[in-house]
């Protein structure tokens, strides 16, 4: 019987730290083996997951001995929090540990999309030299519109201002008198979408936010605006995004999250879409952030098992 089940990749130094004190079963592909996972978790008091492991339904019901869940990331939409709370299962996300990686992804993607020069490989390989077609834009002086203004969005705002951007944001759950608004203009959603040169989504996936960035939202955006989504895929209508890009109604987009992950056959619908960057839910994962996230979660899981928190 293992004390701790780890279903996805985790920094090896953190795994070694856990193994020094507990019996650990670590299989980075275990999330895709539901029967094996259900059998293993039935007698384990601790489970550590990323975003691909669905901690709900029959799997969670089978985890009779479960006391603590460590989440190698911050989103909790893959975990049935209501059921965990009812059963007294403690859930520990790695809040703050991967923020810098996400911020750099958002800013870096925005710079690539605005500059436009990095989509020239095919033309260059063909012997062309399309200088006049690739005169892009600087990020300095542009308006960053944040849809959602939580911790990562606020860090993104701070970095953006250092690059000379001005920042506006929409978040009805952050009170108007919150000190976070001191350097960021608070606007409604329509105003953010219609005025921003760069739009970055920072929303959790909830019934309220599902599909929020859809056909009507894209119609409000500037035709040369660029969009980055490193939050949750279901917040945005992917078909509406594809249509906007193909019709020249949007300047570009970078997607790190999707309605369905992995994309599998669904990825084919993105083929031929211009000015589009697709990455596999990796914005929060760098060598450095993986070490921070894994170490933080390992410490919290051990503390919970030992009754220290």
Catalytic residue among 12, 128, 260, 261: 261
- Residue 150 contacts residue 170 (beta carbons within 8 Å): no
Phi/psi of residue 268, each to 5°?
-65, -25
- Any idea where the domains of the chain sit in the sequence? 4-93+287-306, 98-278
**Cα distance between residue 37 and residue 174, in whole Å:** 39
**Cα distance between residue 142 and residue 165, in whole Å:** 5
State the Rg of the chain over Cα: 21
Question: Annotated catalytic, 239?
Answer: no
Q: And the tokens for 162?
A: 């250092």
Question: Annotated catalytic, 143?
Answer: no
CB atoms within 10 A of CB 116: 17
Least Cα distance to 200 among 235, 176, 175 occurs for 235
**Cα distance between residue 117 and residue 306, in whole Å:** 54
Angle, helix 287-305 to helix 12-19, in steps of 10 degrees: 20
- Concatenating the DSSP letter of every residue in the chain gives --SEEE-S---HHHHHHHHTTS-EEE-TTGGG-HHHHHHHHTT-SEEEE-SSS-BSHHHHHH-TT--EEEESSS--TTB-HHHHHHHT-EEEE-TTTTHHHHHHHHHHHHHHHHH-GGG-HHHHHTT---TGGG----STTPEEEEES-SHHHHHHHHHHHHTT-EEEEE-TTS-TT-GGGGGSEE--HHHHHHH-SEEEE-----TTTTT-BSHHHHHHS-TT-EEEE-S-GGGB-HHHHHHHHHTTSSSEEEES--SSSS-GGGGGGGTT-TTEEE--S-TT--HHHHHHHHHHHHHHHHHHHTT--
Least Cα distance to 73 among 306, 308, 305, 281 occurs for 281
Give me the pLDDT at residue 1, please: 85
Give me the pLDDT at residue 106, please: 98
Strand bridging mode 185-186 / 166-170: parallel
Question: Annotated catalytic, 161?
Answer: no
Beta bridge partners of 278: 255
CB atoms within 10 A of CB 238: 22
CATH fold, domain 98-278, is Rossmann fold (3.40.50)
Which homologous superfamily is 4-93+287-306 in? NAD(P)-binding Rossmann-like Domain (3.40.50.720)
- Concatenating the DSSP letter of every residue in 31-62 gives GG-HHHHHHHHTT-SEEEE-SSS-BSHHHHHH
Give me the pLDDT at residue 26, please: 98
pTM for the model: 0.92
Determine the straight-line distance between the first and last CA of the chain, rounded to whole angstroms.
Answer: 24
CB atoms within 10 A of CB 138: 11
Give me the pLDDT at residue 75, please: 87
Catalytic residue among 26, 143, 232, 300: 232
Give me the pLDDT at residue 189, please: 98
pLDDT in tens for each of the 309 residues of the chain?
899 999 999 999 999 999 999 999 999 999 999 999 999 999 999 999 999 999 999 999 999 999 999 999 998 999 999 999 999 999 999 999 999 999 999 999 999 999 999 999 999 999 999 999 999 999 999 999 999 999 999 999 999 999 999 999 999 999 999 999 999 999 999 999 999 999 999 999 999 999 999 999 999 999 999 999 999 999 999 999 999 999 999 999 999 999 999 999 999 999 999 999 999 999 999 999 999 999 999 999 999 999 999
Give me the pLDDT at residue 164, please: 98
């Amino acid at each position: 019987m293992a004390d701790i089940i780890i279903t996805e990749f985790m920094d090896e130094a953190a795994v070694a730290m856990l193994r020094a004190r507990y019996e650990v079963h670590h299989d980075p592909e275990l999330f895709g083996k539901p029967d094996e996972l259900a059998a293993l978790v039935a007698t384990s008091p601790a489970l550590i997951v990323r975003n691909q492991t669905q901690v709900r339904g029959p799997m969670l019901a089978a985890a009779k001995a479960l006391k603590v869940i460590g989440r190698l990331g911050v989103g909790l939409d893959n975990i049935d929090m209501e059921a965990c709370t009812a059963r007294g299962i403690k859930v520990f996300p790695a809040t703050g540990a991967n923020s810098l990686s996400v911020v750099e992804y958002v800013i870096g993607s925005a710079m690539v999309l605005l500059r436009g020069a990095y989509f020239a490989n095919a033309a260059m390989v063909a012997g062309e030299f399309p200088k006049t077609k690739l005169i892009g834009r600087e990020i300095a002086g542009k308006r960053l519109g944040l849809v959602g203004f939580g911790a990562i969005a606020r860090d993104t705002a701070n970095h953006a201002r250092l690059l000379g951007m001005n920042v506006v944001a929409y978040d009805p759950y952050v009170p108007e008198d919150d000190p976070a608004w001191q350097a960021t203009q608070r606007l409604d959603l329509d105003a953010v979408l219609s005025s921003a040169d760069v739009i970055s989504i920072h929303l959790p996936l909830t019934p309220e936010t599902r599909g929020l960035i859809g056909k009507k939202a894209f119609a409000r955006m500037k035709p040369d605006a660029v969009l980055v989504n490193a939050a949750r895929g279901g917040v945005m209508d992917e078909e509406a995004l594809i249509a906007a890009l193909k019709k020249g109604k949007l300047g570009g987009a970078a997607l790190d999250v999707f309605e369905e992950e992995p994309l599998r056959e669904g990825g084919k619908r993105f083929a031929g879409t211009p000015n589009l960057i697709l990455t596999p839910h990796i914005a929060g994962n760098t060598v450095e952030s993986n070490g921070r996230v894994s170490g933080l979660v390992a410490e919290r899981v051990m503390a919970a098992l030992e009754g220290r928190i």
